[in-house]
Chains A and B, each alone.
Chain A
Amino acid sequence: MWFNRINLQIARTHLFAKKKQTAIASLGVTFGIAMFVLMISVMTGVNKLLEETQLTSTPHVRIYRDIGHERPSLLSAFNPGERNWNLVHHQKPKDEPLNLRNGLLIARSLEANPNVLGVSPQVSSQVFFNYGPAQLSGMLVGVDMEKEDRLYSVRSKVKSGSLEALMASNDGILMGKGLADKMQVKAGDKVTVTTPKGEVVLLRVIGTFQMGIGAIDNLRCYTSLQTVQKILQENTRYITDIHVKLNDLSLATPLAKEWQDRFAYRAEDWETANATILVSFTIRNIMTGVVVMTLLVVAGFGIYNIMNMTVYDKMKDIAILKATGFQGKDIVGIFISQSAFIGLIGALLGLIIGYVLSWLVSQAPFDGGEFLSIDKFPVNMDPKFYVFGLVFGILTTLLAGYFPSRKASKIDPVAILRG
């Protein structure tokens, strides 16, 4: 009934008789929606990039042996009781091994878990790189490169050399780009490494990688499990860490807890490991939310005002239509269809302009510096934003057309005509 042929025809005549006004009203919607799309794309683009660089190089769960687990002193074991005072100063752990016993078995059992995307058992050791008279500290990480690659897509981070060459050699390392630059070494160069036990070994740099995070690129060197095990003079079952990635990030906390209880080793989820980073993410997300909300409110009011004016401009027409027998629902129908048209055209145009602007920004050169390995500005062109923008634009316009026309449809036509 609302949208019968006469009402649509009247709406069309109104829209096309005043093309300029229709265009201005549509452009009002366009402007709001385009700004919304641009802002949210850019802001979430930055957030997403930061989050992703942080999270892709972080294991969801890391299992390792926590040194210095609280342990009752021998004294209190032999002399228990509330009344007895046992004073033990600066209790140190025993000379216990750093490895996970049955590490490979644990890794294998984790791999069978359907929630697990990948497991990478590794041996990591603090080392010093001899650079002339100076010693640079670094982290030598022995991994099964195929498994490590599945977790962190190392292959795409390789800047020189190749993973195959690393896997083929028995004294090769893949060095973080920051560290390699500091030591001025290139693929093929040899470096001298001092282990925690004081051994000095010679290793060959067969390539470099860059994760985009300074804390990793300036410290880490990848090599094979066997190489580290050999340097540390340990057997081939020696594993210090197990990194796990899950299919669903949110399962990390409960699973870590379960595994910690099951394997009796420390199992740390990514949220605990990255608590400070997460706080900054939360703050950034809240800020994005506030900015986008403000933008939507402003855009919404703009659209509302323009539609209101469009309807009030036609007040006399409404009175005449009512005088000649058009009912309230006809009036509302006429203006709702005009609003729908303006909203649809305006919002679609807004999406297109928003897309073009976001694309232009995404092409702008941007130097991420040491910290981020990007050369263009990060923009998040999520289709979700476009759907939201379209719905928001049309809905606001519809409401902005509905309320004043419903109000107008309820008053006596003479009250309008008399002024």
Chain B
Amino acid sequence: MMMEKVLVAKNINKYFMEPARFQVLKDISFDVNKGEFLSIVGKSGCGKSTLLYLLSTMDTDYEGKIEMKGTLLTGKTQNELAAFRNKNLGFVFQFHYLLPEFTALQNVMLPGLRLGEYSAKEVEERAYEKLSLLDMQDFALKKSSKLSGGQQQRVAIARALINDPAIIMGDEPTGNLDNTNSGIVFDIFKDLAASMGQTIIAVTHDADFAKRSDRIIEMSDGKIVSGV
């Protein structure tokens, strides 16, 4: 059976110029299939976050090509990329960045409101649904800056899910969670991949989490050493 490729990365090189010129990513190429649950592992500082930022289109300063859902994203304008992210990408940062002055519910709703495919009322219902999935419904109306680290991370995951994106990327999405909640998040991802055909790409230090996913890509010193 022919697998549909949802993400193609070709010959990615990335340099940091400060403090000295330094190559973080070295000729990285790999594909991800639709509905796949992929883990990226590797030592701290090997370039996992850097790679994920490139894939998420939030960093456009690189060499090589990135294609998603059959569209070449390399070279697109900021506005086009923002529109693409809004519809097709959900991202969970390593340090769960939420808007501090907004409630958990508002944080989850904003990308949905921006997309404008549902009415405000429906977006709110959907946001409650996503928050409930992560057992955060009781904190919906709390300011996000008043939540604990793990709670913020779960709100960030709910926000990544709000527009039913084709690809969900997480930079250690369970890094701040206890075993129970880690398990819940893993099950959610697994279910989204299996039943909804959404693709999951997660950077993780959790060996158990990685082992239970569909595929593991291992990085070392800016290169992929296994899993392509």
Contact = CB atoms under 8 A, between A and B. Distances in A.
B194 interface: no
Contacts of B53: 414
A410 B114 CA distance: 18
Contact of B114 (A18, A316, A319, A325): A325
A105 interface: no
A320 B99 contact: yes
Contact of A6 (B58, B60, B113): B113
Contacts of A317: 99-101
B79 A329 contact: yes
Interface residues of A, number: 28
A330 B78 CA distance: 12
Interface in A1-57: 5-6, 10, 13-14, 17-18
Interface string B109-124: 0110111000010000
Contacts, number: 76
A322 interface: yes
A414 B59 CA distance: 6
B58 A326 contact: no
Interface string A303-335: 000000000000011011111111111100000
B58 A324 contact: no
A6 B53 CA distance: 26
B196 interface: no
Interface stretch (B2-10, B29-37, B80-88, B181-189): B80-88
Contact of B101 (A17, A329, A417): A17
Interface of A: 5-6, 10, 13-14, 17-18, 316-317, 319-330, 409-410, 412-415, 417
Given A321-B110, A325-B163, A328-B79, 19 more contacts: A5-B113, A5-B120, A6-B113, A13-B106, A14-B101, A17-B101, A320-B97, A320-B99, A324-B91, A325-B82, A325-B86, A325-B87, A325-B89, A325-B114, A326-B82, A326-B114, A329-B79, A410-B78, A414-B53
Interface of B: 53, 56, 58-61, 78-79, 82-83, 85-87, 89, 91, 93, 97-102, 106, 110-111, 113-115, 120, 159, 163
